[in-house]
Amino acid sequence: MTRDRRVILLPIEPGLICLRGLSPKRLRFEVEYGLERGTTANAFLFEAGSSTAGAPIPPVLVHPPGASFSEPFLEQLSGLVPSEAALKVVVGHLNPNRVTLLRELALRWPALMLVASNAGARLLQELWSQRKPTAPAVGAGVEAKPDPPLPPLPPIDVIKQEVSRELANGYRLSLIPTPTPRWPSALVAFEERTGLLMSGKFFAAHRCSERWAEANRDSTEEDRRYFYDCLMAPMARQVETVVDRLDELAIRTIAPGHGPAISESWRSLLADYRRWGESQEKAQLSVALLYASAYGNTAAIADALAQGVARTGVRVESLNCEFAPPEQLLQTIRGCDALMIGSPTLGGHAPTPIVSALGTLLAEGDRDKPVGVFGSFGWSGEAIDLLESKLRDGGFRFAFEPIRVKFSPDGATLKRLEETGTALGRELQQRQKRQKRVAAGGLSESRSNPAVLALGRVVGSLCVLTTRKGEGEGALAGAMVASWVSQASFSPPGFTVAVAKDRAVEALLHVGDGFALNVLAAGRESGPMKQFLQPFPPGADRFAGLELESSPGGQPVLPEALAWLEARVSQRMECGDHWLIYAVVSQGAVLDPTGTTAVHKRRSGANY
């Protein structure tokens, strides 16, 4: 058993148990785990019993976890369900990792039956016999071990539309298909008597907690917002449709697939989901994100690119080409301002749905709109080569060089992908601003607004915010020039700094993260500002060529600064196109007692 992963039992009601997998460490290098607060995987077991008419009803397992929790989960489940039982398993989310655990369930419970949505049944049939590519054996006389035989695919109870099923002990389970581009097989479960909504990916948060329910709304808000921004924002329209349907249920508690349950403030969480999606819906610019993903790696790349684009306020329209109807694909291609298309390489080829989407793009795509190509591969990358060559030959303009990721992205690659998406979003916004200036005869209304001019007279000290997170090769670093800085508290000593949502460093400034604020000296500010105001390509080292010192907490300090403060993020507040970060100071020093603070004076409040 993996030491840092275990499964605990949380009784909910008589005959209903939550099997919660706990991982205090980051489970995988995917963008939604970026806060590094561990995770939980919630499964729900309705015990066997009898119907109201006295007929026997088998045990029902809802939302089993992936293979990451396989050993401790199977150990706990074996103590609750005998191997001869006709176990039914409701599969609300499917990927190769989850199918691996389903195969193990099929080996231990031969009478197993799977319950899945229509799209889920199709994915089960496609993924059941697939194996992840492994490195070939190397060396003389080395023979690759044959893979163990797979169990046959169990029978599948296909849920084509919402249904209600009687369970033992007086429970009744409603199964509701909730397909989205990221999770086409999604199936949520609602127990009618208790009002328990087992929502799967919806309303989830990656936070390790043994508590059944969150202590209060504030305790997990940042985690749930982060999960939304990473995975839900690129499909905000479809998510809102799901939220509207779920809001019709007589909910008393929401128990997502990850994180603690929400029992006291679930209604405000539904309202938050709608509010968080409003900015996406109001955005004037959009980027189409077309992809297919065999093992989840290409989807992980798509998630990171989408999060980077969304940070700029540009809407992302995400489409899974394996499930998107042709008319939706055509509408998305015609309506977007830029497009990214990604594919895995399977057997040296791109999947058929991607080839079909590429044909539609070549026939209907606007050559004036930038495109991007990405994908994952095991031992070759022919699918990425195909996309690149066809689009270049077709006269399309590339927003960035094709992105090729072998197997799954690591932390540094994810950061580079997010910054690539941000760069594309900024390019679209700058292009839009130029067009507006031309249409307005070169004048900017906001910059001539008296109130905006007056706002520019608010001055702030010039600083460089620097941060480093993690250790060794996996460490991530960032920096930015900051002038919207102000002391905010005496006890504890603290200050606020405003960080634009599209800043790369913003991803490293969540609650609990540390950083240094380097206050620049008047007359000596040009050097540091030149270094950090220059444009950086995605993934570039912001500190290249600099001789830095370190704070006691390991944060980068500029030796030429007037003073430095080491602080830790305590709170974040969303303020329009910025995040206001409140940080508590732990240490600091004045490096030049005779110097004065550099001050940033502006003519207008319309820009920095």
pLDDT band at 2 (very low <50, low <70, confident <90, very high): low
Tokens 């993924």 correspond to what residue?
127
Distance CA 100, CA 96 (A): 6
pLDDT (tens digit per residue) in 45-70: 999 999 888 899 999 999 999 999 99
Whether the CB-CB separation of 442 and 334 falls below 8 Å is answered with: no
> Are residues 473 and 341 part of one domain?
no
pLDDT at 420: 97
> Are residues 416 and 528 part of one domain?
no
Distance CA 153, CA 40 (A): 27
CATH number at residue 405: 3.40.50.360
Residues 566-574: what's their mean pLDDT? 97
Cis status of the peptide bond prior to 155, with omega within 30 of 0: no
Tokens 């004045």 correspond to what residue?
590
> Are residues 335 and 294 part of one domain?
yes
Instruction: Provide the residue type at 142 as one letter.
Output: V
Report the predicted TM-score, pTM, of the whole model to 2 decimal places.
Answer: 0.90
Whether the CB-CB separation of 324 and 313 falls below 8 Å is answered with: no
Whether the CB-CB separation of 155 and 114 falls below 8 Å is answered with: yes
pLDDT band at 280 (very low <50, low <70, confident <90, very high): confident
Cα torsion angle, 77, 81, 85, 90, sign: negative
pLDDT band at 552 (very low <50, low <70, confident <90, very high): very high
Whether the CB-CB separation of 182 and 231 falls below 8 Å is answered with: yes
pLDDT (tens digit per residue) in 174-223: 999 999 999 999 999 999 999 999 999 999 999 999 999 998 888 899 99
Q: Tell me if 272 is assigned to some domain.
A: no
CATH number at residue 167: 3.60.15.10
Distance CA 322, CA 357 (A): 10
Q: Tell me if 476 is assigned to some domain.
A: yes
Who's near 406: CB < 8 A, 6+ residues apart?
376, 377, 378
Q: Tell me if 161 is assigned to some domain.
A: yes
> Across 448-493, where does the E strand assignment appear?
460-461, 463-469, 476-482, 485-489
> Are residues 469 and 402 part of one domain?
no
Q: Tell me if 103 is assigned to some domain.
A: yes
* Per-chain mean pLDDT for the chain: 93
Structure tokens at 109: 């419970």
Structure tokens at 459: 């001055």
pLDDT at 477: 95
pLDDT band at 356 (very low <50, low <70, confident <90, very high): very high
34 vs 115: which has the higher pLDDT? 115
Residues 283-300: what's their mean pLDDT? 92
Tell me phi and psi for residue 200, to 5 degrees. 65, -125
Helix (H) or strand (E) run with residue 241 in it: helix 236-246
- What does each C-alpha distance from 449 to 435, 484, 576 come to in angstroms? 20, 21, 19
Residues 105-127: what's their mean pLDDT? 96
Q: Tell me if 290 is assigned to some domain.
A: yes
Rounded to a whole number of angstroms, the distance between the first and last alpha carbons of the chain is 53
Beta bridge partners of 44: 18, 62
Give the number of domains in the chain.
Answer: 3
Instruction: Provide the residue type at 120 as one letter.
Output: G
168 alpha carbon, distance to own chain's centre: 37
Percentage of the chain exceeding pLDDT 70: 96
CATH number at residue 571: 2.30.110.10
pLDDT at 442: 58
Nearest to 5 by CA among 38, 44, 42, 45: 38
For residue 344, pLDDT beyond 80: yes
Q: Could you tell me the residue range of the domain that residue 409 belongs to?
A: 283-427
> Are residues 111 and 203 part of one domain?
yes
pLDDT at 443: 53
CA 100-103-8 angle, to 5 degrees, is 70
Residues 131-159: what's their mean pLDDT? 72
For residue 139, pLDDT beyond 70: no
Q: Tell me if 439 is assigned to some domain.
A: no
Helix axes 411-439, 297-311, angle to 10 degrees: 40
> Are residues 215 and 96 part of one domain?
yes
> Are residues 158 and 112 part of one domain?
yes
Percentage of the chain exceeding pLDDT 90: 81
Q: Tell me if 218 is assigned to some domain.
A: yes
Burial 111-143 (b: 16+ CB within 10 A, else e): ebbbbbbbbbbbbbeebbeeeeeeeeeeeeeee
> Are residues 410 and 469 part of one domain?
no
pLDDT at 43: 98
For residue 133, pLDDT beyond 80: no
> Are residues 586 and 513 part of one domain?
yes
pLDDT at 239: 96
For residue 146, pLDDT beyond 70: no
> Are residues 466 and 416 part of one domain?
no
Backbone torsion region of residue 416, taken as left when φ is above 0, otherwise alpha when ψ lies between -120 and 50, otherwise beta: alpha
Pairing status of strand 463-469 against strand 514-519: antiparallel
- What does each C-alpha distance from 330 to 358, 361, 362, 404 come to in angstroms? 11, 8, 11, 26
> Are residues 177 and 55 part of one domain?
yes
Residue 567 three-state SS: strand
Residues 321-350: what's their mean pLDDT? 94
pLDDT (tens digit per residue) in 486-529: 999 999 999 999 999 999 999 999 999 999 999 999 999 998 99
DSSP string, 31-86: GGGTT---EEEEEEEEPPEE-TTS-EE--EEES---GGGHHHHHHHHHTTS-TTS-
Tokens 């001019």 correspond to what residue?
453
Who's near 72: CB < 8 A, 6+ residues apart?
1, 2, 5, 6, 7, 21
pLDDT (tens digit per residue) in 92-112: 989 999 999 999 999 999 999
pLDDT (tens digit per residue) in 238-274: 999 999 999 999 999 999 999 999 998 899 999 999 9
Residues 269-291: what's their mean pLDDT? 93
pLDDT at 476: 93
DSSP string, 155-183: PEEEE-S-EEEE-GGG-EEEEEE---SS-
> Are residues 227 and 89 part of one domain?
yes
Helix (H) or strand (E) run with residue 384 in it: helix 382-393
600 alpha carbon, distance to own chain's centre: 36
Q: Tell me if 140 is assigned to some domain.
A: no
Pairing status of strand 187-191 against strand 286-291: unpaired
438 vs 518: which has the higher pLDDT? 518
pLDDT at 143: 60
pLDDT (tens digit per residue) in 468-478: 998 888 899 99
pLDDT at 1: 44
Distance CA 431, CA 44 (A): 50
Burial 155-164 (b: 16+ CB within 10 A, else e): ebbebeeeee
